[in-house]
Each structure stands twice: as C-alpha cells, then as structure tokens.
C-alpha cells in the first residue's frame, strides 16, 4: 500500500508516525478545556467531540465522543469501526471536499496534553516471547531447562493491576519491597535495587465476550494496539514469585503509549507466527497471519545526559499472537470486557542487541551496558528516562505509535518506618 496523501501537509512526510494510513485514536486536552477524544493526523489532532457536535462524524445515534475515553465507541463493534475510519479518510484525504469544514477542528499536537485513551477494565500480562523466556530461564535454570514444560503448548500469563496502568510521560517511582539477596539468611524491606523495563505491545479488547471464542473471532475483537512498558522490580520478583508468580514486582506501573493504532491500520503489515516446535492444540491454531511486522526500540536517557538506544527488535518475534492469547484467556469461560488490556510479554530477538529488557541485556547484571557518557547500566537508576518507540514501515510512509516514556523517580522515604 502506498502513502495515502492528506491535505494536512505534515501527514505526508516519510518520517511522521501519523499519516492518513494510520489515524490512531487518543484522548487529549488543551489549556482550560476537558480531555476529549481525538485522532492524530501528522502533527495535528482532529477534535472528534467538536467534529461530532458539528455533524461531521456520527458513528452512532447518540454521541460517543463527548467522554474522555474510547470505550463507548469501541462498544459499537466492528460494524461501526470500519465506516468511521472510511469517513475520516473522506474528511482528511488530499482531494477532500470537506477541508474548509474540518480545518477549524484541528489542534496542534504541540499544544495538547495526552491522556490514557481508554478506561482499562482488566489487565492481563503474558509471557509469550520465546527468546525472552529462554534467556530468563537459562539464567536461573540453565539452557537445558530454560522453558517450562508447558511453554510450547500454552500462552502463559497472569492477572495484573489495571489500576497502575499510566500513560506515556507519567513518572514512575522506584518501589519498596521485600528483598532477599542470595547471601542473606532472611529478607529485609528496602527500595528495589534491580528496577527494569520490559518492551512489550499491548492489545486493546474492543468487544465483550461470554464463553470461549476461537482465534479468528478473538482477532476481530481486538480494536487496536499500543506500546507497553511492563516496569519490573527484579529483586522483589526473585523473592516473591514462587509458587504463584509475579505480584508486587509487577504492580508499580505499566506505561502505555497514548495512541491506539487500530487493527485496520496494521492490516497491511500482518506476518505469520514462527514455525511451531510442538504442534498446538487445535483451538489455538491460527487461520492466517496474526502477528505484525513492527520495528521496536527502547532507549535510555540519564538525567542531564544523552539518549542511547538499548535494543532494537520486532513484534514478529512473538511465539503467540494477541489473538491466540485472547482465545486462550476465554477457555475457562472468563468474560472479556471492552477496554481489557493484554500485554504481549517481553519482545526479544535472538541476538543480544535485540533483547527486550535490561535483565537480558546485562545478563542479570553480569555484563553492564555502556552509555555514551561513559556510565554503565545493569538496571535502571533514579533519573533515567526509558522510552519505547515503534512503527510498521510502508512504502514511503510509516504507521507509528508515538512515544511510550517514563522517568524513574527515587523511592519515597522510608514509609512509616517500614524498613526498620
């Protein structure tokens, strides 16, 4: 697919994340006004609440963009999603007859504050990247026992905290927790010393379900995708995770990008999942390509320092697609809600420079990374800003997500003497 040209000139460059081919969904506010729904186009945002009031867009009989989240629009389902996208293209296309009517509702992105784009109902995080699972397992159990016995048969996940999901730009405070170094007899309570990021994608469920759904139906339930950083306290995790898995180590924060790139925008970039090393049970078999060719990076900028790319990888490295994860999530009869968020799991490639976390990049702290200013990192330090970026590359254009960034703040002072 070539670049779709818009009368918004900034949408026609090869480097913008937001050409007419994209039209991602977000929530924004301007000074003195309430947050509202918008769509990114180049370096502008189309104010959908105002456009809806003016009768330029009308996806439903009643207003759906007069609230600061996309849940009400998503609830209209795929039958509304497609025509709405077609209407936006009609309004913003280079040859559109509607430019004069639409132009007053464009807001410069530089003047806007971005917010969480949805009300998050529930959040489940998966462990579905094989390279990441193998690397982590090798560190703790050796390569011969790296993958759990069930890993090649089932998308492993855990129920995470929806309440701690934050939008890009929100600071993240270093957590306190129980720590037990290997040479200590007993645990102690202290700030995390091995704070980490995890480079992931998040799938947004746009249609509710009751009972089990198949992989094809699960794919149709996904409204779109975001970048996702699953901040992780590795030392807290190492002490607490047996026997029930992650808990407080993953509850500090999860940062997502402010723009939801719709499944329709990513359609030209579909790719298949990897060849299976063990046959999947029939209910998990995919009817077609369900992953996407999305280039991803994670960068670190020390306070007052220069930003450096830590890793480059691609979403196609996943072993299980979001559709398979969603399908498996429903096998118990678990209802899925509009606004559910599914984290992919850490996306790591086979090469060292494509690993999606500092735990892997520094191999548990044994191989620190060098930064441009001569400093090193095994794990994140206070003042570090971690930024994820991603885009699918088209012919002369890109479909991108914007930034997913967060700055690490120091831990709070000893809470009520808890560290005594």
Tell me, what CATH number does 48's domain have? 2.30.30.230
Residues 147, 193: one domain?
A: yes
Residues 63, 169: one domain?
A: no
| Residues 74, 223 contacting (CB under 8 angstroms) | yes
pLDDT band at 140; cut points 50, 70, 90: confident
DSSP helix/strand/coil, 8:
coil
Strand bridging mode 376-377 / 369-370: antiparallel
Whether 1 is covered by a domain: the verdict is: no
Residues 191, 213: one domain?
A: yes
Q: What H or E segment, with its residue span, contains residue 151?
A: none
Burial readout 206-218 (b: 16 or more C-beta within 10 A, e: otherwise)? bbbbeebbbbeeb
Calculate mean pLDDT across residues 291-314. 97
Whether 246 is covered by a domain: the verdict is: yes
DSSP helix/strand/coil, 178:
strand
Residues 87, 23: one domain?
A: yes
> How many residues appear in the chain?
420
| Residues 373, 198 contacting (CB under 8 angstroms) | no
Whether 163 is covered by a domain: the verdict is: yes
Instruction: Domain of residue 306: give its range.
Output: 123-411
Tokens of 172: 């993240």
Whether 2 is covered by a domain: the verdict is: no
pLDDT at 197: 98
Separation CA 317–CA 128 (nearest Å): 10
Separation CA 281–CA 153 (nearest Å): 7
- Split into its structural domains, the chain has a count of 2
Return the ∠ at Cα 259 (arms to 255 and 262), rounded to 5°: 120
pLDDT band at 419; cut points 50, 70, 90: low
pLDDT at 221: 98
**Domain end call among 88, 115, 142:** 115
Calculate mean pLDDT across residues 288-310. 97
Calculate mean pLDDT across residues 329-357. 97
Residues 138, 90: one domain?
A: no
Nearest residue to 131 via CA among 121, 120, 118, 143: 143
Burial readout 86-104 (b: 16 or more C-beta within 10 A, e: otherwise)? ebbeebbbeeeeeeeebee
Residues 70, 136: one domain?
A: no
Residues 172, 85: one domain?
A: no
**Beta carbons within 8 Å of 89's beta carbon, 6+ residues apart:** 4, 20, 23
Residues 102, 133: one domain?
A: no
pLDDT band at 222; cut points 50, 70, 90: very high
Residues 61, 180: one domain?
A: no
**How is residue 234 annotated by DSSP?**
H
Nearest residue to 45 via CA among 77, 15, 22, 13: 22
Report DSSP letters for 10-48, one per residue.
GGGSSS-S--TTT--EEEEE-TTS--EEEEEETTEEEEH
pLDDT band at 414; cut points 50, 70, 90: confident
Return the ∠ at Cα 342 (arms to 170 and 199), rounded to 5°: 55
- Residues carrying an active site annotation: 132
Q: What is the pLDDT of residues 54-102, one digit of tens each?
A: 999 999 999 999 999 999 999 999 999 999 999 999 999 999 999 999 9
Nearest residue to 318 via CA among 129, 188, 144: 129
Whether 308 is covered by a domain: the verdict is: yes
Residues 102, 187: one domain?
A: no
Whether 162 is covered by a domain: the verdict is: yes
**Domain end call among 115, 148, 183:** 115
Residues 135, 280: one domain?
A: yes
**Domain end call among 86, 115, 144:** 115
Tokens of 126: 């998966």
- Residue 23, sorted as left (phi over 0), alpha (psi -120 to 50) or beta, turns out to be left
pLDDT band at 1; cut points 50, 70, 90: confident
Whether 294 is covered by a domain: the verdict is: yes
What is the CATH number for 393? 3.90.850.10
Residues 106, 199: one domain?
A: no
């Amino acid at each position: 697919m070539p670049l779709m040209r818009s009368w918004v000139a900034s949408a026609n460059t090869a480097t913008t994340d937001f050409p007419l081919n994209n039209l991602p969904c977000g929530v924004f506010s301007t000074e003195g006004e309430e947050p509202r729904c918008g769509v990114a186009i180049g370096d502008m945002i189309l104010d959908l609440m105002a456009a809806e009031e003016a009768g330029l867009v009308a996806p439903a009989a009643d207003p759906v963009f007069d609230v600061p989240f996309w849940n009400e629009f998503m609830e209209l389902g795929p039958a509304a999603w497609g025509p709405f996208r077609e209407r936006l293209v009609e309004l913003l296309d280079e040859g559109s007859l509607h430019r004069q009517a639409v132009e007053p509702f464009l807001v410069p992105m530089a003047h806007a504050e971005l917010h969480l784009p949805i009300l998050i109902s529930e959040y489940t995080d998966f462990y579905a990247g094989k390279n990441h699972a193998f690397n982590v397992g090798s560190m703790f159990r050796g390569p011969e026992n790296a993958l759990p016995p069930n890993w090649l048969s089932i998308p492993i996940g855990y129920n995470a905290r929806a309440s701690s999901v934050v939008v890009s730009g929100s600071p993240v405070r270093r957590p306190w927790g129980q720590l037990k170094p290997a040479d200590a007899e007993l645990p102690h309570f202290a700030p995390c010393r091995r704070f980490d990021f995890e480079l992931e994608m998040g799938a947004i469920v746009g249609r509710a379900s009751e009972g089990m759904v198949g992989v094809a139906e699960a794919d149709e339930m996904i409204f779109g995708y975001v970048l996702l950083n699953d901040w992780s306290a590795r030392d807290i995790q190492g002490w607490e995770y047996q026997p029930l898995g992650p808990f407080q180590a993953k509850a500090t924060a999860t940062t997502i990008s402010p723009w939801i790139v719709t499944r329709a925008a990513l359609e030209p970039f579909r790719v298949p999942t990897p060849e299976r090393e063990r046959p999947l049970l029939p209910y998990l078999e995919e009817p077609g390509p369900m992953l996407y060719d999305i280039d991803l990076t994670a960068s670190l900028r020390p306070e007052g320092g220069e930003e450096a790319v830590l890793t480059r990888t691609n979403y196609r490295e996943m072993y299980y697609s979001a559709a398979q994860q969603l399908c498996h999530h429903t096998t118990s009869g678990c209802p899925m809600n509009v606004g559910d968020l599914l984290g992919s799991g850490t996306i790591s490639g086979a090469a060292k420079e494509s690993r999606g976390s500092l735990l892997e990049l520094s191999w548990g702290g044994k191989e620190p990374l060098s930064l441009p200013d001569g400093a090193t990192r095994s794990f994140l330090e206070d003042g570090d800003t971690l930024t994820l970026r991603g885009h699918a590359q088209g012919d002369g254009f890109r479909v991108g997500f914007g930034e997913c960034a967060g700055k690490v703040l120091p831990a709070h002072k000893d809470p009520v003497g808890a560290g005594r």
